[in-house]
Amino acid sequence: MSGGGVRHLYVHLPFCATRCGYCDFVTLVGRTGEHGAYVDALLRELALERDALADPLDTIFLGGGTPTFTEPAALERVLASLPAAAEVTIEANPETVHEGLTPVLARNGVNRVSIGAQTFNTALLDVLDRRARPEDVRRAVHVLRDAGFENISLDLIYGIPGQTAPDLERDLEQALELAPDHLSCYELEAKPGTRFTHAHGEELGRQADAMEGYFELVVETLVDAGYRWYETANFCRPGRESRHNLAYWLGRDYVGIGIGAVSTVGARRWRNAPKLRPYVDALASGRTPPREDEPLDPATKARERLMLALRLDEPVPLQAVGSAIDPAGLARAERLGLAERRGGGLALTRRGRFLGGAVTAEILA
Amino acid sequence: MSLDLIRNFSIVAHIDHGKSTLADRILEVTQTLSGREMREQVLDSMDLERERGITIKAQAVRVAWKGHQLNLIDTPGHVDFTYEVSRALQACEGALLVVDAAQGIQAQTLANAYLAIENNLEIVPVVNKIDLPQSNPEGSAADVADLVGEEPDRVLRISAKTGEGVEDVLDAIVERIPAPEGDPAAPPRALVFDSSYDQYRGVVAFVRMVDGAFRPREGLRAMAQGTRFEAEELGFFSPVRSPMETLSAGEVGYVITGLKDVSRLRVGDTLTSEVRPASKPLPGYKEVKPTVFAGLFPTDSDEYPELRDALERLKLNDASLFYEPETSQALGFGFRCGFLGLLHMEIVRERLEREFDLDLLVTAPNVAYRVETKAGEEVEVHNPAEFPREVERVEEPYIRATTIVPKDYVGAVMELNNGRRGRFHHMEYLSEERVMLAFDLPLAEIVYDYYDQLKSRTKGYASFDYDVTGFGEGELVRVDILLAGDPVDALSLIVHRDTAYARGRELVDRLREEIPRQMFDVPVQAAIGSRVIARETIKAKRKDVLAKCYGGDITRKRKLLERQKKGKKRMKQVGAVEVPQEAFLAVLNLSGERR
């Protein structure tokens, strides 16, 4: 063991084959010719941050974009250069998972794959501009299982224009048939002003009205199927939490590299600028990439700690968040049966978790 | 100046019939103001007055015409200020009754004509706006002649706008209006018909000298109120203040009192000399009491001190404005204010919002109730939240409402008034086409959505006026609105038993629409005492989460939550229920006069 104290690393691989209408991540479509140069820059940034990182790391998460869309040689160079870590997750679109990919992942220490399934309904996949078909999801899971991957997560989205509650039930059913180790279920967030929102305006309103029913359906179905609702939007089989994401929710330090990536270390948070060219150029000439800094005072840290911790099913120790709590607000939330103290810690009740945002706002000083 | 050469007159008219334009023209024709100084409607100095075409404060200007001194006393033109109008008229010997040649006699023409007649004034009827193509000077002249008992050919036909006939008006004032009577040698008596507040010199009283004379530095006393002060300066308006060495019988002018509070010098009081006091005051003084009440609360509770200061400053100039601190559980700290009427309330509210830049929540206006409790106690209640839940007997103020409409709308007005607990009094054809209807109505019935109803049912043709006539017994109940079992004090209403259900239902429905879903079920109820008359439930929301949150967007999500928290802090808290300001606004608008 050596190095600094940061035990969690995020690596941003922004490239995608196409852009999905609803997506608001930092992504770049195509540009396969630039993958190599980007990876060069990424590895230079990793070298810059190396001193801050523990070795071995606890977790690494490769997110995107579509990390598995990255040109294979470039992808392997990234993976091969990463420090060792107990959990290494990569995000993948179903159509990018094939027999050629799995050995690359396996021999470079990737041991967790998060597949962006979103829905098993062909028409709804089209609404989302997703390329993969439902059979691609099933095939991807089988390919990964066959290659020995034992920690597979599926992403689902609900509230898609045109979706009905029975549609969602079928999605959940088909996802469960694949016996994933972990599920992330998100409501579709349509950002105002986007083409997607413009195209589906009225229908998005109807979906918003249905959203609370969907959320209950998701939680009930997955909990009934034996999954643990360990975070607002995340479910796992026992012991299969995303350790990387848990690190965020527990307020641990992390370093993020790549365009748009965010790092939080101690009292400092910084975000890399989202543009490719300035990022590559700066690192090519040995400079840190353009960044936006955000100092975090202890009060802000405490508020974040509380806000993140209340997303989890396990209580947060009161002494860690005490200064961020409004006692009157907490008392109200407790009286309404939305929050409770358990073993020296604070957690939301089951009903409180469905209203997590409002209850957190209530409790926050 | 000899009394024979003095004429004191006012101009009375319905809104927009040209009173102010005629006043301006008189100043111009008599060269009281040069063209450069001439400003449109000089006498109406407040923006609000000019915009609404009404006068709130009386003014008095002295002009010279063919060797005579003419004093024009401009009067407030609205029913809310009837008492002020009557005092201003008492200061005159004559009045120009101005009627729009196109619109003819309107409700306030009548009200003002009757007031002038009651004060024994010589009325000079004037038909204005004869330049308008759609005008009917002959018809209007015949009607107005009939109204005041004059020959139609004695009615002056003018256009204040073009100036045509204005000199004839001035001649008529000299010829027809009697010179003031009074005893220059008697102990001095002066009628206070208005006052204003000068921030450097204190209260300025507008007076009509009836007997005797005042001199600067003389010790004076207000006979009804007993207030004593020294006349710091005397003079007349031309239209700016012009100091004089003496103000004597028959003249109109001002007295600078140095008093720091307008409420110490009431309109209608009589000023006399300390050293040579009159034995009897002039008749007609009474203390005016507010008739309409409402709670005023700052939208932002931090603005309470600003609201308090603003009311204090308004009060300096408006002795009839009444206010006292009020605390509402729902709306926080504010004031319960009393007004002379709805227009007065509107004016105060608009001045607070415009001149003092305040955002206000105004509760549904109510009237003053005389309540006899079960215990036999008599109390006057100005605030529904203080209305006893158990009462033996309640009396409420009544008005005599005068409405003038084209004859086709008589049915519509009857129907409206009958639905408002009105009692028909009498009806009169003013001409073949136009009918005057007199009804007795509870004042409370015109406070709620009456003007709009009248306007829409008569397609805008009705003109309306009223006088408060006294108190009458009513079957009134207090309706409380409860959220999750807690009463919302600011929304309590006093209504007639027959309309309680409908009003309660309306409020409950509106609140259900306006209050966002909470983290628990919220019953919304309207109740009379412990009896619930309407009920709805705002169902608890079942989901309120930030969908996802990872390392890249913690800052943004934190800010979202902080904003949500701030939003909660801005909410008004009723028991456990968070009510957004907008909900109160929507509901209070519903229960107030729709504008």
pLDDT tens string B209-265: 999 999 999 999 999 999 999 999 999 988 788 899 999 999 999 999 999 888 888
Task: Find the CATH number of the domain harbouring B393.
Answer: 3.30.70.240
A179 vs B391, which has greater pLDDT? A179
Into how many domains does chain A fold?
2
Smallest CA–CA distance from A296 into chain B, residue: B555
Domain check: are B194 and B229 in the same one? yes
Position A263 in a domain: no
Q: Is B548 on the interface with A (CB under 8 A)?
A: yes
Domain check: are A13 and A141 in the same one? yes
Q: How would residue B533 be classed by pLDDT, with cut points 50, 70 and 90?
A: very high
Task: Return the pLDDT at A2.
Answer: 52
Task: Return the pLDDT at B60.
Answer: 84
Q: Determine the Cα–Cα distance for residues A101 and A94; give it in Å rounded to an integer.
A: 12
Q: Determine the Cα–Cα distance for residues B99 and B13; give it in Å rounded to an integer.
A: 6
Q: Which residues of chain B does A232 touch, with a Cβ-Cβ cutoff of 8 Å?
A: 545-549
Q: Which residues of chain A does B551 touch, with a Cβ-Cβ cutoff of 8 Å?
A: 10, 248, 254, 256, 262, 264
Position A277 in a domain: no
Domain check: are A320 and A224 in the same one? no
Smallest CA–CA distance from B556 into chain A, residue: A304
Across A32-50, b (16+ Cβ under 10 Å) vs e yields: eebbebbbebbbbbbebbe
Q: Which residues of chain A does B568 touch, with a Cβ-Cβ cutoff of 8 Å?
A: 361-362
Domain check: are B461 and B383 in the same one? yes
Q: Do A186 and B546 touch (CB under 8 A)?
A: no
Among A294, A318, A283, A321, which Cα is nearest to A305's?
Answer: A321
Task: Find the CATH number of the domain harbouring B94.
Answer: 3.40.50.300
Position B285 in a domain: no
Q: Do A357 and B564 touch (CB under 8 A)?
A: yes
Domain check: are A353 and A234 in the same one? no
Q: Do A212 and B541 touch (CB under 8 A)?
A: yes
Position B65 in a domain: yes
Domain check: are A18 and A166 in the same one? yes
Is the per-residue pLDDT at B440 higher than 90? yes
Query: Which of A300, A353, A362 is closest, CB to CB, to B568?
Result: A362
Domain check: are B160 and B22 in the same one? yes
Q: Do B548 and A184 touch (CB under 8 A)?
A: yes
Domain check: are A244 and A302 in the same one? no
Task: Return the pLDDT at B156.
Answer: 95
Position A254 in a domain: no
Q: Could you give the dihedral angle defined by the CA atoms of residues B498, B499, B504 and B510, in that order, rounded to the nearest 10 degrees?
A: 160
Q: Is A189 on the interface with B (CB under 8 A)?
A: yes
**Residue B52 φ then ψ, to 5°:** -90, -5
Task: Return the pLDDT at B34.
Answer: 60
Strand order across the A345-348 sheet: A316-317, A345-348, A339-342
Strand order across the B252-256 sheet: B228-230, B219-222, B270-273, B189-198, B202-211, B252-256, B233-237, B241-244
Burial of B95 per CB tally in 10 Å (0-12, 13-18, 19+): buried
Position A13 in a domain: yes
Q: Do A355 and B557 touch (CB under 8 A)?
A: no
A94 HSE (CA, 13 A, CB side) = 22
Strand order across the A228-231 sheet: A228-231, A234-236, A182-187, A152-158, A112-118, A85-92, A57-64, A8-13, A255-257
Q: Determine the Cα–Cα distance for residues A240 and A87; give it in Å rounded to an integer.
A: 11
Question: Which residues have a Cβ under 8 Å from the Cβ of A273 and sit 6 or more positions away?
Answer: A259, A260, A279, A289, A290, A291, A292
Which segments of B285-378 does DSSP mark as H helices, in order? 304-317, 342-355
Domain check: are A224 and A357 in the same one? no
Q: Which residues of chain A does B555 touch, with a Cβ-Cβ cutoff of 8 Å?
A: 262, 269, 294
Question: Which residues have a Cβ under 8 Å from the Cβ of B135 and sit 6 or more positions away?
Answer: B100, B101, B102, B129
Query: Which of B543, B549, B557 is closest, CB to CB, to A354?
Result: B543
Domain boundary among B345, B362, B379: B362
Q: How would residue B42 be classed by pLDDT, with cut points 50, 70 and 90?
A: low
Average pLDDT, chain B: 88
Interface residue of B520, B548, B553, B566 to substitute, partner A, most A CBs within 10 Å: B548
Q: Determine the Cα–Cα distance for residues B313 and B326; give it in Å rounded to an integer.
A: 18
Task: Find the CATH number of the domain harbouring A187.
Answer: 3.80.30.20
Domain check: are A146 and A242 in the same one? yes
pLDDT, tens only, A156-174: 999 999 999 999 999 999 9
Domain check: are A216 and A318 in the same one? no
Q: Is B551 on the interface with A (CB under 8 A)?
A: yes
Q: Is A265 on the interface with B (CB under 8 A)?
A: no
Tokens of B130: 């004869």
Position B492 in a domain: yes
> What residue ranges of chain A have pLDDT lower than 50?
1
Q: Could you give the dihedral angle defined by the CA atoms of residues A119, A124, A127 and A132, in that order, rounded to the nearest 10 degrees?
A: 50
Q: Determine the Cα–Cα distance for residues A360 and A345; give it in Å rounded to an integer.
A: 15
Q: Do B565 and A189 touch (CB under 8 A)?
A: no
Domain check: are B16 and B87 in the same one? yes
Q: How would residue B39 be classed by pLDDT, with cut points 50, 70 and 90?
A: low
Domain check: are A333 and A212 in the same one? no
Position B287 in a domain: no
Position B282 in a domain: no
Q: How far is CA A308 from the centre of its chain?
A: 14
Is the per-residue pLDDT at B41 higher than 50? no
Question: How many angstroms away from the CA of B298 is the closest CA of chain A?
Answer: 25
Q: Which residues of chain B does A230 touch, with a Cβ-Cβ cutoff of 8 Å?
A: none
Q: Is A187 on the interface with B (CB under 8 A)?
A: yes
Domain boundary among B425, B452, B474: B474
Position A289 in a domain: no
Between the alpha carbon of residue B79 and those of residues B124, B400, B403, B422, the distances in Å are 21, 12, 13, 19
Domain check: are B68 and B165 in the same one? yes
Is the per-residue pLDDT at B55 higher than 70? no
Smallest CA–CA distance from A211 into chain B, residue: B543
Domain check: are B490 and B350 in the same one? no
Q: Determine the Cα–Cα distance for residues A262 and A143; give it in Å rounded to an integer.
A: 32
Q: Which domain holds residue A133?
A: 2-248
Task: Find the CATH number of the domain harbouring B491.
Answer: 3.30.70.2570
Domain check: are A196 and A328 in the same one? no
Domain check: are A220 and A331 in the same one? no
Q: Is B570 on the interface with A (CB under 8 A)?
A: no
Q: Which residues of chain B does A254 touch, with a Cβ-Cβ cutoff of 8 Å?
A: 551
Is the per-residue pLDDT at B358 higher than 80? yes
DSSP B152-179: GGGSEE-BTTTTBTHHHHHHHHHHHSPP
Q: Determine the Cα–Cα distance for residues B463 and B461; give it in Å rounded to an integer.
A: 7
Domain check: are B559 and B536 in the same one? yes
Between the alpha carbon of residue B426 and those of residues A30, A143, B409, B419, B472, the distances in Å are 88, 96, 16, 17, 19
What is the C-alpha radius of gyration for chain B, rounded to an integer number of angstroms? 27
Domain boundary among B324, B344, B362: B362
What is the C-alpha radius of gyration for chain A, rounded to an integer number of angstroms? 21
Smallest CA–CA distance from A306 into chain B, residue: B558
Domain check: are B25 and B152 in the same one? yes
Position A349 in a domain: yes
**Region B573-583 average pLDDT:** 84
Query: Which of A215, A248, A361 is closest, CB to CB, to B551?
Result: A248
Question: Which residues have a Cβ under 8 Å from the Cβ of B291 and sit 6 or more positions away?
Answer: B338, B339, B340, B341, B367, B368, B397, B443, B468
Q: Is A302 on the interface with B (CB under 8 A)?
A: no
Tokens of B1: 């100046």
Question: How many angstroms away from the CA of A30 is the closest CA of chain B?
Answer: 23
Task: Find the CATH number of the domain harbouring B299.
Answer: 3.30.70.870
Q: Is B520 on the interface with A (CB under 8 A)?
A: yes
Q: Which residues of chain B does A307 touch, with a Cβ-Cβ cutoff of 8 Å?
A: 557-558, 561
- Are the beta carbons of A110 and A118 closer than 8 angstroms? no
Position B281 in a domain: no
Domain check: are A26 and A146 in the same one? yes
Into how many domains does chain B fold?
5
Domain check: are B486 and B543 in the same one? yes
Residues 261-290 of B with CB under 8 A from A: none
Task: Return the pLDDT at A359.
Answer: 96
Domain check: are B527 and B565 in the same one? yes
Q: How would residue B594 be classed by pLDDT, with cut points 50, 70 and 90?
A: very low
pLDDT, tens only, B93-152: 999 999 999 988 888 888 788 888 888 899 999 999 999 988 889 999 999 998 888 899
Position B67 in a domain: yes
Task: Return the pLDDT at B53.
Answer: 46
The two beta strands, B156-157 and B122-128, are: parallel
Domain check: are B23 and B171 in the same one? yes
Domain check: are B386 and B358 in the same one? no
**Region B544-554 average pLDDT:** 91
Q: Determine the Cα–Cα distance for residues B8 and B89; give it in Å rounded to an integer.
A: 9
Burial of A138 per CB tally in 10 Å (0-12, 13-18, 19+): middle
Q: Do B549 and A254 touch (CB under 8 A)?
A: no
Query: Which of B542, B543, B549 is closest, CB to CB, to A311?
Result: B549
Q: Do B543 and A212 touch (CB under 8 A)?
A: yes
Q: Which domain holds residue B133?
A: 3-176
Position A142 in a domain: yes
Task: Return the pLDDT at B330.
Answer: 81
Position B181 in a domain: no
